[in-house]
Amino acid sequence: MEDEPVNIREYEEIAKQVLPKMFFDYYNGGAGDEYTLRENMEAYRRIMLRPRILVDVSRIDMSTTLLGYKMHSPIMVAPTGMHKYAHPEGEVATARAAAACNTLMVLSFSSSRKIEDVASSCNAVRFFQLYVYQKREVSATLVRRAEEYGFKAIVLTVDTPRLGRREKDIKNKLILPQLSNLDGLVSVDVGPKGGSDLEAFASQTLDPSLCWNDIEWLRSITSLPIILKGIIAAEDAIKAVEMGVSGIVVSNHGARQLDYSPATISVLEEVVKAVSGAVPVLIDGGIRRGTDVFKALALGAKAVLVGRPILYGLAAKGEKGVKSVLKMLQSELELTMALCGTTSINEITRKHVQTEGEKLRSLL
């Protein structure tokens, strides 16, 4: 019998072995030089933990809530497109695994399974991620369907007025699967011209004129809470709060959009301070260990989202693999909490981490 993977890196290795190169590169790649892609992970390694000792850690409670919904732990599933590249069941398998792990999944606009199929596959709490199509009515239709099928919030992605330049996809001539949610709604001209079909698709569909006023438009078509995903700067976080959003995701889209944007963990604290508790601040990008989750919580995140690790699990073993990835991160977080002397999420504080700047200052 094959050895079970013991960490996310080993799941990544399996995904690389089992997936066609074109699909693995699409999942794993980033924009431009992939500097931010590396930095998203490296920045976590520069933060050290400051454990406290002699605390009774015989019981650890990792549970938390987001917008009033309870989760087993603050580790959520990020919206990622096209799960059918990884497994024929696609997003249905992912949703079932998220439900089994009592966590929240954000379903991508570019899902390869229909909103309705994902909704009827299990009864987890789900949010719906939105891109704004040049023909606004297409996005409005999807919002209405998500609302009708019980999704609890709209996560509007704000870092993608145009698609980032992903050179691997261009070289591989990435082909698009059917984006089932858009059946009958969208007809675009993609095909064998060379280059990435995703890029061709995005350039004909994404609305680059999307701006702050459109938050009002979105509010006029839905009563669901709105979360903005893709904020990096404190000024934008303040503006988002002023616009009445219900949450913020500090994200650089897994380094797939603007290369040389900062690692998300390096700007989290600035955003958390700017928001000063008005709305929950979430983070994603580069989280591969329970210790990473702990560091993000210590720097003020309410919860984290993971993208690629879910896809690795899905490619390796379908629903079982996604479950295993989520459980792995949950149990790594639990152990980190125990070894840091924290028994609940609220007990994780700023004092449990030391950033590189603090380490250097302490030497002066």
Ligand X SMILES: CCCCCCCCCCC(=O)C(=O)O
Binding residues: 26, 79-81, 108, 129, 131, 157, 166, 229, 251, 253, 256, 284-288, 307-308
Residue 256 engages ligand X in binding (rule: CB under 6 A) = yes
Residue 199 engages ligand FMN in binding (rule: CB under 6 A) = no
Of 40, 111, 205, 355, the one binding ligand X (CB under 6 A) is 205
Residue 108 engages ligand FMN in binding (rule: CB under 6 A) = yes
What does 23 bind: ligand X, ligand FMN, none (CB cut-off 5 to 8 Å by kind)?
none
Of 36, 64, 73, 80, the one binding ligand FMN (CB under 6 A) is 80
Q: Which is nearer to ligand FMN, 302 or 342 (CB)?
A: 302
Q: What is the 3 state secondary structure string of the chain?
A: CCCCCCCHHHHHHHHHHHCCHHHHHHHHCCCCCCHHHHHHHHHHHCCEECCCCCCCCCCCECCEEECCEEECCCEEECCCCCHHHCCCCCHHHHHHHHHHCCCCEEECCCCCCCHHHHHHHCCCCEEEEECCECCHHHHHHHHHHHHHCCCCCEEEECCCCCCCCCHHHHHHCCCCCCCHHHCCCCCCCCCCCCCCHHHHHHHHHECCCCCCHHHHHHHHHCCCCEEEEEECCHHHHHHHHHCCCCEEEECCHHHCCCCCCCCHHHHHHHHHHHHCCCCCEEEECCCCCHHHHHHHHHCCCCEEEECHHHHHHHHHHHHHHHHHHHHHHHHHHHHHHHHCCCCEHHHCCHHHEECHHHHHHHHC
Query: CB of 301: closest distance to ligand X in angstroms?
Result: 21
Query: CB of 314: closest distance to ligand X in angstroms?
Result: 15
Q: How many residues bind ligand FMN (CB under 6 A)?
A: 24
Residue 251 engages ligand FMN in binding (rule: CB under 6 A) = yes
Residue 253 engages ligand FMN in binding (rule: CB under 6 A) = yes
What does 133 bind: ligand FMN, ligand X, none (CB cut-off 5 to 8 Å by kind)?
ligand X
Between CA 245 and CA 253 the distance in angstroms is 19
Q: Which is nearer to ligand X, 89 or 169 (CB)?
A: 169
Q: Which is nearer to ligand FMN, 39 or 342 (CB)?
A: 39
Of 44, 85, 133, 151, the one binding ligand X (CB under 6 A) is 133
Of 115, 119, 202, 228, the one binding ligand X (CB under 6 A) is 202
What does 251 bind: ligand X, ligand FMN, none (CB cut-off 5 to 8 Å by kind)?
ligand FMN
CA 292 to chain centre: 14
Between CA 265 and CA 183 the distance in angstroms is 37
Query: CB of 90: closest distance to ligand X in angstroms?
Result: 14
| Residues from 51 through 80 that contact ligand X (CB under 6 A) | none
- The one-letter amino acid at 322: V
What is the Cα Rg of the chain in Å?
20
| Residues from 290 through 349 that contact ligand FMN (CB under 6 A) | 306-308
Residues serving a catalytic function are 253
Query: CB of 81: closest distance to ligand FMN in angstroms?
Result: 4
- Positions in the binding site for ligand FMN (CB under 6 A): 26-27, 40, 78-81, 108-110, 129, 157, 229, 251, 253-254, 256, 284-287, 306-308
Binding region for ligand X (CB under 6 A): 81, 109-110, 131, 133, 163, 198, 201-202, 205-206, 253, 256
